[in-house]
Amino acid sequence: MKSRTPDFPAPLDAEKRKAIRPVICYPVDQLKVAPLELYFRARKNFELVESLEVPAREARTFEIPAGHFFRIVCVDGPQVGDLNLWQAENLQERFYSGKTRALHGTHLSTGDRLWSGFPYLRPLATITANTLDWYGFDEFGAGVHDVIGTRCDPYTSFLLNQTQYHHCCHSNLIRSLAQKTGLSKAEIEADVHDVLNVFMCTGFLQDTHQYFMKASPVRPGDYLEFFAEVNLLGALSACPGGDCGSEHSSDSSTCYPLRVEHYRPTNDELTKAGWRSPSINGYDRTHGMGD
Ligand SMILES: [Zn+2]
């Protein structure tokens, strides 16, 4: 926690230095925008291929081919989901929430993309619908679908409370990925990564700038929809925090299942437009060291 009483005196020009206007770190006007109009045409009359229920306090994996869509749907009651994404044939290429946050901001909505880590750095998925986009930012500075929080995990839980709790999203994601791949929990743990907090309502306090959560505004029927830019393996955990209105990392919150719906386009709009998965990043990877 930052001290409210600094140890060092402010310099004479402190106010002037603090008054400098911010500059956006990564102006996205240079970023190739997602071809949303094409995706909207492609999803007209798309058909449901499969529907998967993710039980409360558990995670499940799912596969979505490039060019298809999927939705994460709130079914029985307000519930937050922790989403991991990998390129299906190469688990080393996985969602990079930190760079996604640097590019698109703390909370994601329609048109924002979920980027993979280095050296790939390309869109894994693009958000094509968000029934909670009306929420925007509230009076506390909170928004929905954040890429701030990491995922609830048993290590931090132990650090803070000395508990052994096994249904944090981190562990749920490990179990589901181990089951999918046949690898052990030790082999698979490093492949589980920071998440998109689907339906979670979060922000930073105005005074201390601490990360906070509040009860999600999500209701049954709400969904977040994605276009798969590459062949995807996904894992979704129905967080033990439920709507994350009080606490997580325990069995005390009311939790509900979530549903993942996989949709296939029924028209040839993508083919007609010559759509292909994005290429991996073009940096030559020499890092100033020659070949
Ligand atoms: Zn969680």
DSSP string, 19-86: TSPP--SS-GGGSPPP-HHHHHHHTTT-EEEEEEEE-TT-EEEEEE-TT-EEEEEE-SS---EEEEEE
Tell me: the pLDDT tens digits for 207-255? 999 999 999 999 999 999 999 999 999 999 999 999 999 877 778 889 9
Which of 226, 234, 195, 193 is closest to 88 using CA atoms? 234
71: which strand partners? 225, 261
The structure's pTM equals 0.94
Tell me: the pLDDT tens digits for 221-233? 999 999 999 999 9
Lowest mean pLDDT among 22-31, 59-68, 137-146, 198-207: 22-31
Measured in Å, residue 104 CA sits from the centre of ligand 1 at: 22
Measured in Å, residue 92 CA sits from the centre of ligand 1 at: 22
Measured in Å, residue 183 CA sits from the centre of ligand 1 at: 23
Q: Is 258:75 a contact under the CB 8 Å cutoff?
A: yes
Distance of CA 128 to the CA centre of its chain: 14
Measured in Å, residue 55 CA sits from the centre of ligand 1 at: 13
Lowest mean pLDDT among 5-9, 71-75, 77-81, 274-278: 5-9
Measured in Å, residue 277 CA sits from the centre of ligand 1 at: 30
Measured in Å, residue 237 CA sits from the centre of ligand 1 at: 7
Lowest mean pLDDT among 23-27, 170-174, 225-229: 23-27
User: Is the pLDDT score of 1 beyond 70?
Assistant: no
Tell me: the pLDDT tens digits for 90-123? 999 999 999 999 999 999 999 999 999 999 999 9
